[in-house]
Amino acid sequence: MKIDTFDIIVGNATDVGKIRECNEDYLSHFVTTYGYCIIVCDGMGGHAAGDVASQGAIEAIKHYLQDGKVTKLDTPNSLLNAIEFANYKLRETVQQNPALTGMGTTCVMALIYDAEMFVAHAGDSRIYLIRDHSIKQLSKDHSTIQNLIDAGVLTEAEAKVSEKRNQITKAIGIFEKVEPTVTKEAFQLKNNDRILLCSDGLTAHVSDEEILEIINANTDVQIASLELIEKANNGGGSDNITVQLIQYIGKSSIARKKRPIKKMLRLGIITLIVAVLGYVIYNKFMPSRNEKTVPNSSQGKTDTIPGDTTNSGIIGGEEKMPASKNQDKVKNGGNINKHNSAIDTLKQKPPK
Protein backbone atom coordinates (compact mmCIF):
# COMPACT_ATOMS: atom_id res chain seq x y z
CA MET A 1 0.00 0.00 0.00
CA LYS A 2 1.60 3.30 -1.12
CA ILE A 3 0.42 6.52 0.47
CA ASP A 4 1.97 9.92 -0.20
CA THR A 5 4.07 9.98 2.97
CA PHE A 6 4.54 6.34 4.01
CA ASP A 7 4.38 2.73 2.81
CA ILE A 8 2.75 -0.22 4.54
CA ILE A 9 2.16 -3.85 3.56
CA VAL A 10 -0.95 -5.65 4.80
CA GLY A 11 -1.36 -9.40 5.06
CA ASN A 12 -4.53 -10.99 6.42
CA ALA A 13 -6.48 -14.19 6.81
CA THR A 14 -9.72 -15.37 8.40
CA ASP A 15 -11.01 -18.88 9.05
CA VAL A 16 -14.11 -20.46 10.58
CA GLY A 17 -12.02 -22.73 12.81
CA LYS A 18 -12.76 -26.38 13.58
CA ILE A 19 -15.87 -26.11 15.74
CA ARG A 20 -18.01 -23.17 14.61
CA GLU A 21 -20.40 -23.60 11.70
CA CYS A 22 -20.09 -20.06 10.38
CA ASN A 23 -17.53 -17.28 10.47
CA GLU A 24 -18.78 -14.32 12.49
CA ASP A 25 -15.47 -12.43 12.25
CA TYR A 26 -14.97 -9.63 9.75
CA LEU A 27 -11.96 -7.57 8.68
CA SER A 28 -11.22 -4.56 6.53
CA HIS A 29 -8.59 -1.92 5.77
CA PHE A 30 -9.08 1.37 3.93
CA VAL A 31 -7.94 4.97 3.48
CA THR A 32 -9.59 7.69 5.57
CA THR A 33 -9.21 11.42 6.16
CA TYR A 34 -7.07 10.57 9.19
CA GLY A 35 -4.75 8.05 7.56
CA TYR A 36 -4.90 4.32 6.87
CA CYS A 37 -7.34 2.29 8.97
CA ILE A 38 -7.11 -1.44 9.78
CA ILE A 39 -9.97 -3.20 11.65
CA VAL A 40 -10.89 -6.63 13.00
CA CYS A 41 -14.32 -7.36 14.49
CA ASP A 42 -15.48 -10.57 16.20
CA GLY A 43 -19.25 -10.87 15.99
CA MET A 44 -21.53 -12.60 18.49
CA GLY A 45 -25.20 -13.34 18.77
CA GLY A 46 -25.74 -16.62 17.00
CA HIS A 47 -25.85 -17.81 13.41
CA ALA A 48 -28.22 -15.13 12.21
CA ALA A 49 -26.66 -12.15 13.94
CA GLY A 50 -22.92 -12.37 14.66
CA ASP A 51 -21.74 -11.89 11.10
CA VAL A 52 -24.33 -9.12 10.60
CA ALA A 53 -22.94 -7.29 13.63
CA SER A 54 -19.26 -7.53 12.71
CA GLN A 55 -19.76 -6.50 9.09
CA GLY A 56 -22.28 -3.79 9.97
CA ALA A 57 -19.95 -2.27 12.56
CA ILE A 58 -17.05 -2.03 10.13
CA GLU A 59 -19.22 -0.53 7.41
CA ALA A 60 -20.51 2.11 9.85
CA ILE A 61 -17.00 2.98 11.07
CA LYS A 62 -15.75 3.22 7.50
CA HIS A 63 -18.64 5.48 6.54
CA TYR A 64 -17.99 7.77 9.50
CA LEU A 65 -14.24 8.09 8.93
CA GLN A 66 -14.58 8.60 5.18
CA ASP A 67 -17.31 11.24 5.50
CA GLY A 68 -16.14 14.38 3.72
CA LYS A 69 -17.50 16.51 6.57
CA VAL A 70 -15.02 15.00 9.02
CA THR A 71 -11.61 16.67 9.18
CA LYS A 72 -8.31 15.60 10.73
CA LEU A 73 -8.47 17.70 13.89
CA ASP A 74 -8.72 15.30 16.82
CA THR A 75 -7.97 11.74 15.79
CA PRO A 76 -8.59 10.00 19.16
CA ASN A 77 -11.97 11.67 19.57
CA SER A 78 -12.91 10.84 15.99
CA LEU A 79 -12.09 7.15 16.51
CA LEU A 80 -14.24 7.13 19.65
CA ASN A 81 -17.11 8.79 17.79
CA ALA A 82 -16.77 6.32 14.89
CA ILE A 83 -17.23 3.37 17.27
CA GLU A 84 -20.16 5.02 19.03
CA PHE A 85 -21.71 5.72 15.62
CA ALA A 86 -21.38 2.02 14.75
CA ASN A 87 -23.03 1.18 18.08
CA TYR A 88 -25.96 3.45 17.23
CA LYS A 89 -26.35 1.88 13.77
CA LEU A 90 -26.37 -1.70 15.13
CA ARG A 91 -28.94 -0.88 17.80
CA GLU A 92 -31.04 0.84 15.15
CA THR A 93 -30.86 -2.34 13.04
CA VAL A 94 -32.09 -4.42 15.98
CA GLN A 95 -35.04 -2.08 16.50
CA GLN A 96 -35.97 -2.54 12.86
CA ASN A 97 -35.47 -6.32 13.03
CA PRO A 98 -36.08 -7.74 16.54
CA ALA A 99 -34.91 -11.18 15.38
CA LEU A 100 -31.36 -9.80 15.64
CA THR A 101 -31.75 -8.94 19.33
CA GLY A 102 -28.59 -9.77 21.28
CA MET A 103 -26.17 -9.30 18.42
CA GLY A 104 -22.96 -7.39 19.00
CA THR A 105 -19.30 -7.38 18.12
CA THR A 106 -15.87 -6.69 19.50
CA CYS A 107 -13.68 -4.23 17.62
CA VAL A 108 -9.98 -3.46 17.45
CA MET A 109 -8.66 -0.85 15.04
CA ALA A 110 -5.44 0.94 14.22
CA LEU A 111 -5.11 4.17 12.30
CA ILE A 112 -1.69 5.00 10.82
CA TYR A 113 -0.56 8.36 9.49
CA ASP A 114 3.13 8.97 8.74
CA ALA A 115 4.97 7.42 11.71
CA GLU A 116 2.07 7.77 14.15
CA MET A 117 -0.47 5.11 15.08
CA PHE A 118 -3.63 5.53 17.15
CA VAL A 119 -5.43 2.49 18.57
CA ALA A 120 -9.05 1.97 19.65
CA HIS A 121 -10.76 -1.18 20.88
CA ALA A 122 -13.79 -2.65 22.65
CA GLY A 123 -13.92 -6.25 23.82
CA ASP A 124 -11.20 -8.92 23.76
CA SER A 125 -9.88 -8.61 20.22
CA ARG A 126 -6.26 -7.52 20.48
CA ILE A 127 -3.50 -5.50 18.85
CA TYR A 128 0.21 -6.25 19.21
CA LEU A 129 3.37 -4.36 18.22
CA ILE A 130 6.24 -6.55 17.04
CA ARG A 131 9.55 -4.69 16.96
CA ASP A 132 12.82 -6.52 16.34
CA HIS A 133 12.75 -9.50 18.73
CA SER A 134 10.02 -8.33 21.08
CA ILE A 135 6.23 -8.38 21.16
CA LYS A 136 4.03 -6.01 23.13
CA GLN A 137 0.26 -6.10 23.59
CA LEU A 138 -1.04 -2.56 23.03
CA SER A 139 -4.65 -3.28 24.04
CA LYS A 140 -6.10 -4.56 27.30
CA ASP A 141 -9.05 -6.95 27.15
CA HIS A 142 -12.44 -5.67 28.24
CA SER A 143 -13.47 -8.95 29.83
CA THR A 144 -14.50 -10.51 33.12
CA ILE A 145 -11.34 -12.61 33.11
CA GLN A 146 -9.11 -9.54 32.74
CA ASN A 147 -10.88 -7.86 35.65
CA LEU A 148 -10.30 -10.94 37.81
CA ILE A 149 -6.62 -11.01 36.83
CA ASP A 150 -6.25 -7.30 37.65
CA ALA A 151 -7.89 -7.91 41.03
CA GLY A 152 -5.49 -10.76 41.77
CA VAL A 153 -8.29 -13.32 41.94
CA LEU A 154 -6.99 -15.39 39.01
CA THR A 155 -3.56 -16.05 37.57
CA GLU A 156 -2.87 -16.02 33.82
CA ALA A 157 -2.77 -19.81 33.82
CA GLU A 158 -6.08 -20.10 35.69
CA ALA A 159 -7.69 -17.60 33.35
CA LYS A 160 -6.96 -19.76 30.30
CA VAL A 161 -9.21 -22.57 31.60
CA SER A 162 -11.85 -20.46 33.37
CA GLU A 163 -15.49 -20.84 32.31
CA LYS A 164 -15.73 -17.04 32.25
CA ARG A 165 -13.05 -16.55 29.62
CA ASN A 166 -15.60 -15.69 26.90
CA GLN A 167 -17.42 -13.01 28.90
CA ILE A 168 -16.67 -9.50 27.68
CA THR A 169 -17.58 -6.22 29.37
CA LYS A 170 -17.61 -3.92 26.33
CA ALA A 171 -18.92 -4.44 22.80
CA ILE A 172 -20.53 -2.61 19.91
CA GLY A 173 -24.31 -3.03 19.70
CA ILE A 174 -25.00 -4.33 23.21
CA PHE A 175 -25.10 -1.30 25.47
CA GLU A 176 -26.36 2.23 24.97
CA LYS A 177 -22.77 3.48 25.06
CA VAL A 178 -19.64 1.52 24.16
CA GLU A 179 -17.04 3.73 25.86
CA PRO A 180 -14.12 2.14 23.98
CA THR A 181 -10.51 2.55 24.99
CA VAL A 182 -8.70 4.97 22.65
CA THR A 183 -5.06 5.98 22.89
CA LYS A 184 -4.75 9.69 23.62
CA GLU A 185 -1.14 9.81 22.44
CA ALA A 186 0.04 8.20 19.23
CA PHE A 187 2.43 5.27 19.18
CA GLN A 188 5.58 6.23 17.26
CA LEU A 189 6.37 3.64 14.60
CA LYS A 190 9.80 2.67 13.31
CA ASN A 191 10.80 1.15 9.99
CA ASN A 192 9.97 -2.57 9.76
CA ASP A 193 7.61 -2.55 12.75
CA ARG A 194 4.87 -5.18 12.45
CA ILE A 195 1.39 -4.59 13.89
CA LEU A 196 -0.93 -7.54 14.50
CA LEU A 197 -4.71 -7.21 14.96
CA CYS A 198 -6.56 -10.44 15.80
CA SER A 199 -9.70 -11.97 17.24
CA ASP A 200 -9.52 -14.14 20.36
CA GLY A 201 -9.72 -17.23 18.18
CA LEU A 202 -5.97 -16.76 17.67
CA THR A 203 -4.87 -15.87 21.19
CA ALA A 204 -6.93 -18.72 22.71
CA HIS A 205 -4.51 -21.22 21.17
CA VAL A 206 -1.32 -19.33 20.27
CA SER A 207 0.85 -17.70 22.92
CA ASP A 208 2.54 -14.34 22.54
CA GLU A 209 5.91 -16.07 22.22
CA GLU A 210 4.63 -18.33 19.44
CA ILE A 211 3.14 -15.33 17.63
CA LEU A 212 6.53 -13.56 17.79
CA GLU A 213 8.37 -16.64 16.54
CA ILE A 214 6.08 -17.10 13.52
CA ILE A 215 6.15 -13.43 12.51
CA ASN A 216 9.94 -13.11 12.83
CA ALA A 217 10.43 -16.32 10.85
CA ASN A 218 8.56 -14.87 7.83
CA THR A 219 9.47 -11.71 5.96
CA ASP A 220 6.21 -11.97 4.00
CA VAL A 221 3.30 -10.78 6.17
CA GLN A 222 0.77 -12.75 4.11
CA ILE A 223 2.58 -16.03 4.69
CA ALA A 224 2.93 -15.18 8.38
CA SER A 225 -0.82 -14.50 8.59
CA LEU A 226 -1.65 -17.89 7.11
CA GLU A 227 0.76 -19.66 9.44
CA LEU A 228 -0.84 -17.99 12.47
CA ILE A 229 -4.25 -19.28 11.36
CA GLU A 230 -2.82 -22.78 10.86
CA LYS A 231 -1.20 -22.70 14.30
CA ALA A 232 -4.51 -21.76 15.96
CA ASN A 233 -6.37 -24.52 14.14
CA ASN A 234 -3.72 -27.05 15.10
CA GLY A 235 -4.17 -25.94 18.68
CA GLY A 236 -7.90 -26.69 18.64
CA GLY A 237 -9.59 -24.10 16.42
CA SER A 238 -12.33 -23.60 18.98
CA ASP A 239 -13.45 -20.26 17.53
CA ASN A 240 -13.32 -18.20 14.36
CA ILE A 241 -9.77 -16.97 13.73
CA THR A 242 -8.93 -13.64 12.09
CA VAL A 243 -5.62 -11.81 11.75
CA GLN A 244 -4.39 -8.68 10.02
CA LEU A 245 -0.62 -8.20 9.98
CA ILE A 246 0.82 -4.85 8.90
CA GLN A 247 4.43 -4.11 8.09
CA TYR A 248 5.35 -0.45 8.41
CA ILE A 249 7.95 0.51 5.81
CA GLY A 250 8.37 4.20 6.64
CA LYS A 251 8.93 7.08 4.25
CA SER A 252 7.43 6.39 0.85
CA SER A 253 9.32 6.74 -2.42
CA ILE A 254 7.03 9.66 -3.28
CA ALA A 255 7.96 11.50 -0.10
CA ARG A 256 11.66 10.80 -0.68
CA LYS A 257 11.45 12.30 -4.17
CA LYS A 258 9.59 15.39 -3.01
CA ARG A 259 12.05 16.18 -0.23
CA PRO A 260 15.08 17.22 -2.43
CA ILE A 261 12.81 19.36 -4.61
CA LYS A 262 11.46 21.23 -1.59
CA LYS A 263 14.99 21.66 -0.24
CA MET A 264 16.22 23.17 -3.53
CA LEU A 265 13.20 25.47 -3.67
CA ARG A 266 13.87 26.76 -0.15
CA LEU A 267 17.55 27.30 -1.00
CA GLY A 268 16.59 29.24 -4.12
CA ILE A 269 14.24 31.51 -2.15
CA ILE A 270 16.90 32.19 0.49
CA THR A 271 19.45 32.99 -2.21
CA LEU A 272 17.05 35.43 -3.87
CA ILE A 273 16.34 37.20 -0.57
CA VAL A 274 20.08 37.57 0.15
CA ALA A 275 20.70 38.97 -3.33
CA VAL A 276 17.90 41.54 -2.99
CA LEU A 277 19.11 42.65 0.44
CA GLY A 278 22.67 42.95 -0.88
CA TYR A 279 21.50 45.13 -3.74
CA VAL A 280 19.51 47.43 -1.42
CA ILE A 281 22.40 47.81 1.04
CA TYR A 282 24.90 48.50 -1.74
CA ASN A 283 22.79 51.27 -3.26
CA LYS A 284 22.04 52.87 0.10
CA PHE A 285 25.50 52.99 1.65
CA MET A 286 28.01 52.98 -1.21
CA PRO A 287 29.00 56.24 -3.03
CA SER A 288 27.38 56.83 -6.39
CA ARG A 289 29.42 56.33 -9.50
CA ASN A 290 27.88 59.56 -10.87
CA GLU A 291 29.58 61.66 -8.21
CA LYS A 292 33.09 63.17 -8.50
CA THR A 293 35.22 64.59 -5.75
CA VAL A 294 37.80 67.43 -5.78
CA PRO A 295 39.97 68.57 -2.95
CA ASN A 296 39.11 71.91 -1.34
CA SER A 297 42.47 73.20 -0.27
CA SER A 298 41.06 76.15 1.60
CA GLN A 299 38.98 74.10 4.03
CA GLY A 300 40.89 70.82 4.04
CA LYS A 301 37.83 69.03 2.65
CA THR A 302 36.87 67.12 -0.42
CA ASP A 303 33.90 68.58 -2.28
CA THR A 304 31.45 66.35 -4.05
CA ILE A 305 30.33 67.78 -7.37
CA PRO A 306 27.62 66.18 -9.47
CA GLY A 307 28.63 65.85 -13.04
CA ASP A 308 29.71 63.68 -15.88
CA THR A 309 32.64 61.48 -14.94
CA THR A 310 33.68 61.27 -18.61
CA ASN A 311 35.02 64.84 -18.59
CA SER A 312 38.74 65.34 -18.07
CA GLY A 313 41.02 68.26 -17.23
CA ILE A 314 40.80 71.00 -14.60
CA ILE A 315 37.61 71.71 -12.60
CA GLY A 316 37.35 74.96 -10.68
CA GLY A 317 41.01 75.70 -11.28
CA GLU A 318 42.10 72.41 -9.74
CA GLU A 319 42.97 69.09 -11.25
CA LYS A 320 40.04 66.63 -11.33
CA MET A 321 40.29 63.76 -8.85
CA PRO A 322 38.60 60.56 -10.10
CA ALA A 323 36.04 58.97 -7.78
CA SER A 324 37.09 55.73 -6.09
CA LYS A 325 35.34 52.65 -7.38
CA ASN A 326 34.19 50.43 -4.55
CA GLN A 327 32.90 47.00 -5.35
CA ASP A 328 30.63 44.92 -3.15
CA LYS A 329 30.20 41.28 -3.96
CA VAL A 330 27.50 38.88 -2.64
CA LYS A 331 28.47 35.22 -2.90
CA ASN A 332 25.68 32.71 -3.04
CA GLY A 333 26.89 30.75 -1.01
CA GLY A 334 3.61 -2.35 -1.14
CA ASN A 335 0.89 -1.70 -2.86
CA ILE A 336 -1.04 -3.39 -0.24
CA ASN A 337 -0.80 -7.09 -0.67
CA LYS A 338 -4.12 -8.22 -2.08
CA HIS A 339 -5.88 -11.26 -0.72
CA ASN A 340 -3.93 -13.95 -2.54
CA SER A 341 -5.45 -17.10 -1.08
CA ALA A 342 -8.85 -18.58 -0.49
CA ILE A 343 -8.33 -18.48 3.25
CA ASP A 344 -7.75 -14.73 2.95
CA THR A 345 -11.13 -13.98 1.38
CA LEU A 346 -13.55 -12.15 3.66
CA LYS A 347 -16.39 -14.48 4.45
CA GLN A 348 -19.95 -13.34 4.64
CA LYS A 349 -22.08 -16.28 5.67
CA PRO A 350 -25.79 -16.13 4.85
CA PRO A 351 -28.11 -16.15 7.86
CA LYS A 352 -29.23 -19.60 8.91
> What is the CATH class of 6-256+335-344?
alpha beta
Which H or E run contains 158?
Answer: helix 156-160
What is the average per-residue pLDDT within 46-70? 88
Per-residue confidence (pLDDT) for residue 280, from 0 to 100:
80
Cα–Cα distance, 229 to 1 (Å, whole number): 23
Q: pLDDT category, 277, cuts 50, 70, 90? A: confident
Question: Do 39 and 108 touch, CB atoms closer than 8 A?
Answer: yes
Per-residue confidence (pLDDT) for residue 310, from 0 to 100:
41
Q: In percent, how much of the chain has pLDDT > 70?
A: 74
Query: In this predicted model, what pLDDT tens digit does every residue of 8-30 receive, in sequence order?
Result: 999 999 999 999 999 999 999 99
Query: In this predicted model, what pLDDT tens digit does every residue of 73-115 receive, in sequence order?
Result: 689 999 999 999 999 999 999 999 999 999 999 999 999 999 9
pTM, entire model: 0.72
* pLDDT at position 125 over 50: yes
Per-residue confidence (pLDDT) for residue 278, from 0 to 100:
79
Choose between 43 and 320: higher pLDDT: 43
Per-residue confidence (pLDDT) for residue 329, from 0 to 100:
36
* pLDDT at position 293 over 80: no
Cα–Cα distance, 202 to 125 (Å, whole number): 9
Per-residue confidence (pLDDT) for residue 70, from 0 to 100:
66
Per-residue confidence (pLDDT) for residue 211, from 0 to 100:
98
* pLDDT at position 290 over 50: no
